Each structure stands twice: as structure tokens, then as C-alpha cells.
Structure 1
Amino acid sequence: MKSTYGRRHLGLQGLKSLPQLVRKLFQRLITAIPSQPKDMWKLLAFLPCLLLVAEVKGNCSELSACENIISDAGVHSANHGMVSMINKHEAMDHMCTELSNLTSCITNRLHTCDDDTVKNDVKMTKDIAGYMCSAEGRPVVLRLASSECAQNQSLNVQIQVMMHGCIETFTLDLQMEVLNAAFSRRKFEMSDACPFIDQLRTCLIQGATDTCDADMGTFVANVWDIAAGDQFAIFGCTQNVVQSRRYVKRALPMLSERLAAISKLKLKK
């Protein structure tokens, strides 16, 4: 039965882009996790941690320079690698005060850039900063500084291992689904990846909650939704979150059956 999620298709070659996309997100995510308890404020590095960093090209340099407005507060552009540590409430206050100036700068310079990737990166920087400075996000960020993850180095390692495991499971399951589509001679539609993307999100959030605490899970959830939402929009997933959970439960057992069938065919040969 033809999928009703969308009309665009993702071939075997096109599949390569999705795991690469997620792996880039993953690298940004684990980079932001503090490597030492005293570096807990590096959690604020989540500001650019999930952005897909694009090389700043030509006429986009002015737009990218808008991020310098908040770099004085210790939050640097993702294009410059790991951000500096924010270690005082005053620094965060300064960043939040400058948020309106950042927004104005982006609005005024958006037309000067013709690279959609750079535009999205800068927009996500603004949106994540907005969440961190919001009445909802600020208390969560500040509580993370005194959470158990800030005191226990082993938890730092555990959360990175957990995230890596989520990515590996996502990649393997998606590859198996594409093989299943090829075996059954049906087109693998881009929106068919939605259940697996939703499964990945759930894995990361639940893992962060179980490894650290509810605040970490909440933070990862909100940053993921802001930063990854636009990146995965092409797959048509944002409108089908509820349905996708149901499809995951149905799809994975089918994958196992198909792989078993493939194995039997190989043995006969």
C-alpha cells in the first residue's frame, strides 16, 4: 500500500544523506556535554550544538556576523567550534539582554545571504537562545548547573555512550527498512523515515532523562525540536509525530521478517 505521508521518494543513494545528517547532529550534541564537572556551564554550548554547521560563504558573512552580538557573553558561533564556557549568571543575563539585538541584526541582513543553510543555522541560533532565555527554558538551564551530571564524571561518559547507541540503532533500522523496500520492489518514500526519526528523538530524550535527570531530558527535547525540526522538515515528519509512533511499532517486526527472508534466499543460492 502506497504511503500517504508524502509524494517524494528517497532512493538507496539518497539514504546516505539522512544518517550523515543525524551524525552531524550527534557530534554537535556530545560536544556540548561537559567533560569535567567544573565545566557544567558548557551545557550552554547547546546553543549551537545541534546546528548543521555550514561554511560561511561570500555574501553570507554579514549575516553570520550577527552571532558575534552574543559571543561576548561567552556563546560563540557554531562555525568557530566549541563555545566558551558561561560561568556566571551575569553572562547569561547579558546574552539574554542582547537577544533582541541579535533578532534585529538577522532580520536586517537576511536578504544579503542566498545560502539557505547559513540562513537556517543563524535562525536556529536565535531560536535556541530564545528558548534558553525564556521563562520556560532559563530555569531548566540554571538547574542543570547543580544537577547530578555536574558532579559525576561517569554520567558524562554514560550519556555520550547512550547518544551514540541511539544513533547506531537509528542508522541500522533505517538501512534495514530501505533494504526491505528494495526487496519488496516498492519505492522508499522520504516520509517513510519519519517513524525512525521520531524513534531517535524518543531514544535521546529518554536516555538523557534516565542517565541524568528530567531537566536534561527536557532540555534535549526542546533543543532537538528547535534545531532538528527544520532539518527534517523535508521528510514531512513534523505533521505526523503521533502517527509515526504507531508505524514504528508495526515496521520493526516486519523488517526482521524481511531480513530473515533475504537470508533464506541467499542460502538457497
Structure 2
Amino acid sequence: MSIEESIQNTDTTSPPEPEPATETAPPVRRPRRVLRTVGLIAVAAVIGLVGGTAVGYGIQADREPTALPPLNQPGLAYPAKTLPKGQEPEPLSAKEDRQAKTQGDLRKLLVPKPAGARPEGADGWQSLSSYADDFTRPEGALEFQLDQGIRRIATRTWRVGEYKRVEINLVQYRATSGNGALEHVKRQQSIAIGEGKAESLGEPVKGSENGRYFLYPVHREAGYMDQYEARAFIQRGDIAITILMSDTRKIAENEIRSLAERQLGRL
């Protein structure tokens, strides 16, 4: 036997062939690439926006200013130039100037008491505390009047016969505190309507935008005489007019209406 044959017989098995090596796939990085792309786009957009704004401001700054169109106010109520001497309009008389009337002695604007009537209680200026005491809740009335900027109160009260009583109040408010006169009148009218005793929601007072007068049905109570009431609440400028009328006999509608119109006319 030859040496080659002896070797072949001795090593009959051959070692296994090595398996081909397999490469591991690289990690996916696409999301990172997308984020990077989005970031680049955002930066480019910001740069473009800032640059465009700067260019726009530069162009606008170099342009001549454009004149605004004229206001649509033909024929103003006052002259553009001062009128020559001797052509100025005459100032309003005290009778025509409503503000001059109300800035003077407010007591002079009260309706005079009728012939045969006798004064009762306050006649002239009335203090705020005395005025508030006539309300069902004096503390609340006092606080309300102070909040509305009350200025002064002129009062006139008279009695006709034994039982008829009439009271008129001119309550003036400061203009800087709002429209206190209107608020006071609205509140009193609301109370008159909400009491449920008035025969109607009130009748308008001629010559006034918001004035109303109220007639109440008879109030009867055992041991007392019948009681009738009529009230009027009117606002004119910074003054609130309140008229209170009571009697043991029925009050005619014409009586409260006429008194309200005459008092309003004096303002």
C-alpha cells in the first residue's frame, strides 16, 4: 500500500466548510433625515420672512407719504374763521340758555304754591339726610344718591284744605358723575310700576322724553280715612323732578298732569 493510500484511508472525514459570513443590516436613519430636512425648511422660511419684511419696510420708508382722503363733513356748524367784529351771534339770553337757568338759584324754578295754599314743611333748600329719610330704606337711598353724584335739592311743599298735600323736589346732580338725574327717575318709575298699586304703567308727560305720572287706587285701612296718591317723575338735563300728591278724595288725572307739565316748563 502506498503512503498516499494510507493517508486517504486514515483521514476519511473532511472538516465542514465554513458558512459564508452574513453582514448585519445598518440601522434605519430615515426619521432623522426627515427631521433634519424639516428643520432646514423651517429655517429657510424664517430667513425668507425676515428678509421679505425688511425689504418691504425699506421700500415703504423710501416712498412719499400718501395723503388721507378728506373727512366727509361738508358745511360744519361753526365757521372756519372767526367772524368779523360786529357779526358775532348774540349770546343766548338767560331765558333761552337752559344751563344758565339751572346753574342759578334752583329754588326760583319751583312752581309757586297756588293761591289759598299754605306752606308746609320744607320750602327751599333741603338737606340730603332729610330727603333720604322720606324713603322706606333711608340708608340705601342715601348711598344711592351719593353714588349718583347728588349736588343739591330744592323743595316746595304746600297743603290745600285739611288733607290735600303736594310736594315738589328738584334734585340736581353733578355732570361729572354721569346721568344721575336719569338714573334716579328710572329707579323711581320702576318702583312705582313694581309696587303693583298703580292703575297703569304711567302716562307720558307732554314735553318730556321720559317723564311719566302715576295715579293710584284708593288705599283703605280700618280706623283711617281713605288715602289717594298721585306721583310724577321727570328728567330734564341734570335735574330730576319728583312730584308727590296725596288726598283723602280721588285725585283727578288732569290735576297731576297739569302740575307736572307746568313744573317741567319752568326748566
Higher strand share: 2
Higher relative contact order (CA 8 A, sep 6+): 1
Higher helix share: 1
Q: Whose radius of gyration is greater, 1 or 2?
A: 2
Same fold (TM over 0.5): no
Please tell me the TM-score bracket, short chain as reference: under 0.3
